[in-house]
Structure 1
Amino acid sequence: MTATSPSEPPGESQSMTERSRTVTWTDPAELAAAVRELSGPELFAKLIAGELPMPTIGKTVGFRLVEAGDGRAVFEGEWGEHLLNPAGGLHGGWYGLVLDSAMGCAVHSALPAGTGYTTLEYKVNITRAVTEKTGKLRIEGWVVHQGRRTATAEARVVDAAGKVYAHGSETCLILG
């Protein structure tokens, strides 16, 4: 049995190479207020133009909105080793997070001021492994159906060559 110091968790070895990552963000209150006051198209135009701060989740995970409007939203980003599962692959939750973001924002891009949405359910299909060679990824979402109370959307994660790494579908509840 090996003894460890109080600052070293059990099972950790001195030979491990530690890494660190610093994430900075702005107070999310300004963005939250804008979400309640602006239409979807107005909100996303201000976000893309840099007139409003990007959502904190984008800073945390490393993706950003690059296009939005008319029932469509596109994000871009790259994965990082801080997002790996214990086996060394990109954690499946990352796919769910970015696909939900693209699908939800696609729905939101078609909403008038004072109307919101929430995700009721989503499904994710991971079709190909993201690796260190994959490069920048695009997450493209679009509305399939938008009704008075619900909307459905689809999205996919693709690389620069158009290869699909994951795709999903979602149902959103429209909030008046």
Structure 2
Amino acid sequence: MTTKNRCRTYAWDDPLAGASKARTMSGMEYLQAMSSGEIPLPPLLYTLGFSKPEIAEGEATFLFEPQEYHFNPLGSVHGGVITAVLDSAMGCTLQSVLPKGTGYTTLELKVNFLKGINLQTPVLSATGKIIHKGKTTALVEADLRDKEGVVYAHAVSTCLMFNF
């Protein structure tokens, strides 16, 4: 019988409380409202332990510190967690340039896992960048790097933009 001695608890606000406001703000205004606390942060940030994003026009960065609760059965960070932080950076990067009344969704997501991530891995940052933004689709990318610039993972996403 296994004794479970690790515990993690956290709380979050209603994620739909601010969702309707997205329709009345530009993407940057919406992200700034989340950053200031006017709109609740997504529960995913608390669930996976990502930092609140640093946002600039056309760029978003999340910090990620590997923890045991991110592990897969082999004792390294699960690929889904790595994908989630990269997807968050790419999504917020695109959101930061969207005009009022415009939303987006992911059409395709591809991730390259380049280095294993475990408890000895330092804090990593996922930063998004827009490769191309057309009228209906956008291509964005993100890297997951340490402070020395070593790349641990790279992702590319195609997004569909739409009017609310």
TM-score range, shorter-chain basis?
over 0.9
**Post-superposition offset of 1:148:** 0.6
Match of 2:113 among 126, 132, 139: 126
Counterpart amino acid of residue 125 in structure 2: R
Q: Does 1:28 align with 2:15?
A: yes
Q: Secondary structure at the match of 1:162?
A: coil
Matches within 5 A, 1:48-63: 48-63=35-50
Q: Which residue, 138, 143, 148 being the options, matches 2:125? A: 138
For the pair shown, which has the larger CA radius of gyration, 1 or 2?
Answer: 1
Q: For residue 170 of structure 1, what is the aligned residue in structure 2? A: 157
- Structure 1 residues 1-176: aligned runs within 5 Å: 13-14=1-2, 16-176=3-163
Tell which deviates more after alignment, 165-174 or 70-79: 70-79
* Separation (CA, whole Å) in 2 of partners of 1:130 and 1:50: 31
Identity %: 43
Deviation at 1:32, TM superposition (A): 1.1
Whether the 8 Å contact between 1:31 and 1:55 is mirrored in structure 2 is no
1:85-143: CA deviation from partner (whole Å, max 9, x where unpaired): 11111101111111111111111111011100000001001111112122321110011
5+ residue gaps, structure 1, are 1-12
Equivalent position SS for 1:107:
helix
**Counterparts of 1:174 and 1:84, CA distance in 2:** 33
RMSD between aligned residues: 1.4
Alignment partners' CA distance in 1, 2:11 and 2:48: 12
**What is the SS of the residue equivalent to 2:147?**
coil
Change (3 A) 1:36 1:79: farther
Return the offset for 1:50: 2.7
Show structure 2 runs of 5+ residues with no match: none
For these two proteins, the number of residue pairs brought into alignment is 163
Residue 29 of structure 1 aligns to a residue whose secondary structure is coil
